[in-house]
Structure 1
Amino acid sequence: MQWSSFFSVNVQSLPEMVDDFAEHWWIYSTMPLIAALIGYGTKIVAIKMMFRPHKFIGFGAFGWQGIVPKRAPEMVEVLCSTLTGRLISAQEIIDRVDGAELAALIERPLRIEVARIIKGVAADYQPAAWNLLPAPARDLVVEQAQRAALDAVVALTESLTDHIDEVFDLQTMVTREFLSDPDTLEKMFLEVGRREFAFIRRSGLVFGFAIGLVQVMVWLIFRSPVMMPLFGLFTGWFTDWAALRLIFNPKEPKKYLGVIKWHGLFLKNRIPVSQEYAVLIASRVLTADRLVRGLFNGPHQRELVGLVATVVEDAVRTELGDLDRFVATQVNELQILGDLGFGKLGIGKLLGAAARPVSAPLRAITGVGLDAMQIAPMSHAAATELVEALPKLLDGPAEEYLDRALGIRELMVEKMVAMTPEEFEGVLRPAFQADERTLILVGAVLGFLVGDLQVVVMENLVH
């Protein structure tokens, strides 16, 4: 086809239009159907192009990468700031944890881990005193530390409640989880937005058919080939634009022309949308294991170790005083110590509250004393190992308890349903909005190309 004929305009009279329609009625009757298919097909392709391909395919500036994978960092940033800013906070999460119940669930593995940590840290920081201490006395130290560890877990939970924002960045954790698993972001769009995407596809059929009827009249009047790709472009653009407008507007039910009642689809389905969004976040992002991993292995791990070290040191200084009395009452029951004559030397005082009550009897037996100045670094070393070990200790029953106690799904549904329409729209709309223009542009370009193909087909059919 020559460009001159492509842009030519041949205005027909009414009799000519009647004769033209009578002769080619079957061609004209397909125009609305083809326009409907253009509307529908461009929507399917545009939606697919939002997510595929994951990696850029092409050369230089010519190519394509799925909109969502390409803009994932920006979309996730908007999504996570909304999620952690409006729906849930680290404080709300930690407030739901009962330290005593958690401690009871991890008692057995915690006792094993504490025994390992105590032996290792004592040997590193008090080697002379620890190595020369009789084995039964060492066992008493470990046993008392194991008992104290349960109270320390409760104290740690309370301390985390007071200082959670200093040691845990929920938004950073959520952002990392989304970016480390691209399927989660795609799943969120496809599952939570499935009604909206289905509506976009169906609207392409309806709007495309309506535009096709207008296209018939324009073709009958002007008989210009350029009209077809222009109508294809308009169909692709308008159907995307109108569908997106109808998804989010109006925010409250409204009647048009006194007959047609419409409510923005996203807001109309706010309850099921809230439930599906909450289920996805609770099952793939804010799970107990991910939260534990984010807390103990996150960017604020150093601050967390400092917090745990404070709890451990307080427990050590408190328990040493109790331990001195405990050992004093227990030492006479240890036959081996009695046989060795250590009971007469006051072995219980080996583990007094500070260096003075401990050093004298310890020196009497071993010739060396306990260095009380090492309590702080010992506590820090123990805290470091405990922070590394706790995620594994919290597997199993403790993880199940945390999932139940946190109730992320129920909390998010409750908050989302209570939102105003503007707030609710702001939960997911920014992520969609980031590329609405791109989606509309893709629809327009695809519509133009299909319209151009339609001209070639019609010209061949007519001639």
Structure 2
Amino acid sequence: MTELAAVWQELYARPDFWGFISIPIVAAVVTWGHVWMAIQMVFYPIDFVGLLPPLLGWQGIIPRKAEKMAGIVVDKTLSKLGSVGDFLTQMNPELIAAYVANAIERRIEEIVDEVMEEHNKVLWQNLPRMVRSRVYNHVREKLPDVMLEMMMEIMAEVDNLVDLRAMVVRQMAADRGLMVRMFREVGSKEFKFIVNISFWIGLGFGFVQMGLFYFVPAHWLLPLYAAVLGLVTNWVALAMVFRPLNPVKLGPWKIQGVFLKRQVEVAEKFAELSANEILTIGRITREIITGKHAARTRLIVKRHLMPILESPVARATMQVALGAEAYAAMRTTVADKSADLALDPMEDERFNKDRAKVLQGKLAERIRALSSAEFQDMLRPAFQEDEWILLVLGAVTGLAAGTAQLLLGFQ
């Protein structure tokens, strides 16, 4: 006790006493502040703010690299969970195909009128109702079964019709906020942990800094210590999220990266977002019909629809109404419109949510089965490539704080 009292008296007698004993508190507060700022800079702003992109200004790391991040999500995660065909299989392709066929059947007259009027509106509208009804009834009789067969073939071929990576990358490029929300929601507890633990890490390193300054009291070293502290605390905080990769027994405790410990919980959230935002029936259908393999899709559509349009009933009625040349052009129009018409029922919000529930459960099950190394790739790529920015930010902020502390408390 006598020795402690003597040390206290020595410290109290220092002219820079208040500055000296404030080192750990300042370190803790500054560390918390720059770690919080670093996390915000990962996500925000979503759009570039500044004068001269990308030099004079800032855009969040994730929205700035949304396309690249989306590619990583597909390569490291979604591709390991299954193909587009696998996802559709989980959502019951027979039910999906029947849903589309029924939705189109309800609009038969509207569809036929639209196609026929596009080629000869006056003649079609002036045909007797009985003649038009023959066309409606013929199409109504044949189309549902044909559409069902067509949709089943498209879904069987879906892996050749959909480029999953291109689909997701294009979606994220168009909605950078979705990628931000995805990473924030999946890693919400980890980001809170990083910010909260940074105060205590900063406090601990602050005592180390105080000890170093006590034995080497060169004032110019204070900003240097603070800069190193800022860099190291950011590195430690990030490392604690992903390391150790597998559980390590330390006495009565098991230690593992905090993100990895939450694999079961994260699986549910990632599966929910993927099923409801990315792998929806509507988005997959849009890619099938309008994506880079759309021409192949339309060939399948034409192959199924041509027998209806070339049947004796259709040919006799439609050629009379349109003429041979317009009838030939109309067949191509019908095939193109039929492909586009499949989009409407597939983008029904209630239907998408209903199918998403089925897929969500299957995705969560597969994510829970991932190894620790595969699982960490769901979030780790958001930091890895640009981690140095966060470390440099910690060092620069620490340097500035150390300089300010030197000027205010050590004169």
TM-score w.r.t. length of structure 2: 0.85
Among 10, 15, 33, the alignment partner of 1:41 is 33
Equivalent residue for 2:375, pick from 424, 429, 447: 424
**What per-residue deviation string (whole Å, max 9, x for no partner) do you get for residues 386-443 of structure 1?**
12222224454xx534433352321221110011111111222222212112111111
Shift in Å at residue 165 of structure 1?
Answer: 2.5
Counterpart of 1:147?
A: 141
CA 289–434 in structure 1, closer or farther in 2 if over 3 Å, else same? same
Letter aligned with residue 176 of structure 2: P
Identity rate of aligned residues, in percent?
25
Q: How large is the Cα RMSD of the aligned pairs?
A: 3.4
| 1:390 matched to 2:383 | no
**Distance in 2, Cα, partners of 1:280 & 1:98:** 20
Q: Report the equivalent of 2:228.
A: 234
1:351 and 2:351 matched: no
Aligned residue type for 1:386: S
Deviations 1:225-265 (A, max 9, x none): 12211111111111111122221111221134x46641111
Aligned counterpart, 2:245: 251
Cα distance in 2 for residues equivalent to 1:199 and 1:410: 27
Are 1:22 and 2:12 matched, yes or no?
Answer: yes
Matches within 5 A, 1:30-429: 30-53=22-45, 54-58=47-51, 61-96=55-90, 98=92, 101-102=95-96, 105=99, 109-111=103-105, 113-119=107-113, 121=115, 135-256=129-250, 258=251, 261-316=254-309, 320=311, 351=313, 378-396=330-348, 399-406=349-356, 407-429=358-380
How much does 1:211 deviate?
1.3
The higher radius of gyration belongs to 1
Q: Distance in 1 between matches of 2:118 and 2:51?
A: 59
The 1:417–1:147 alpha-carbon spacing in structure 2 relative to 1, beyond 3 Å, is: same
- The residue number in structure 2 matching 1:328 is none
1:438-457 equivalent positions in 2, closer than 5 A: 438-457=389-408
3-state SS of the aligned residue for 2:249?
Answer: strand
Kept in 2: contact 1:192–1:277 (CA 8 A): yes
Kept after mapping to 1: 8 A contact 2:77/2:377: no
**What is the aligned partner in structure 2 of residue 323 from structure 1?**
none
- Residue identity in the other structure for 1:262: I
Task: Assess, with a 3 A threshold, how the Cα gap between structure 1 residues 376 and 249 changes in structure 2: closer, same or farther.
Answer: farther
CA contact (8 A) 1:313 1:376 kept: no
Q: Is the 8 A contact 2:97 2:151 kept in 1?
A: no
Letter in 1 for 2:89: D
| Alpha-carbon distance change, 269 to 290 in structure 1, aligned in 2, over 3 angstroms | same
For 1:341, the equivalent position in structure 2 comes to none
CA 384–115 in structure 1, closer or farther in 2 if over 3 Å, else same: same
Does structure 2 retain, via aligned residues, the 8 Å contact 1:32–1:216?
yes
Q: Which moved more, 1:298-307 or 1:439-448?
A: 298-307
For the residue of structure 2 that corresponds to 1:224, the secondary structure is: coil
Provide the rounded CA distance (Å) in 2 between the counterparts of 1:299 and 1:37: 52
Residue pair 1:33, 1:209 contacting (<8 A) in 2 also? yes
1:250–1:264 CA contact under 8 A, matched in 2 = yes
Contact 1:21/1:220, CA 8 A, preserved across alignment: no
What is the aligned partner in structure 1 of residue 3 from structure 2? Answer: none
Give CA deviations for 1:140-179 in whole Å, capped at 9, x if unaligned: 2321211222112210221112321232222222112212
Provide, for residues 261-298 of structure 1, a one-character-per-residue CA deviation record: whole Å limited to 9, x for no partner.
Answer: 41111110111111112222223222333333333333
- Structure 1 Cα separation of the partners of residues 92 and 216 of structure 2: 77
Equivalent AA in structure 1 for residue 11 of structure 2: F
1:255 aligns to what SS in structure 2? strand
Partners of 2:125 and 2:52 in 1: CA distance: 68
Structure 1 unpaired stretches of 5+: 1-15, 321-349
TM-score w.r.t. structure 1 length? Answer: 0.76
Q: 2: distance between equivalents of 1:273 and 1:97?
A: 22
Separation in 2, partners of 1:159, 1:107: 13
Change (3 A) 1:369 1:147: closer
Aligned amino acid, residue 275 of structure 2 = A
1:453 CA displacement: 0.8
Q: CA deviation at 1:106?
A: 5.3
SS in 2 for 1:252: coil
Point out the more displaced range, 88-97 or 375-384.
Answer: 375-384
1:166 and 1:303 in contact (8 A); partners too: no
Shift of the alpha carbon at 1:125? Answer: 7.6
Amino acid at match of 2:153: S
Secondary structure of the corresponding residue to residue 63 of structure 2: helix
* Counterparts of 2:183 and 2:153, CA distance in 1: 38
Whole-angstrom CA distance in 1 between matches of 2:87 and 2:180: 26
- Any gaps of 5 or more consecutive residues in structure 2? 1-5
2:43 partner amino acid = F
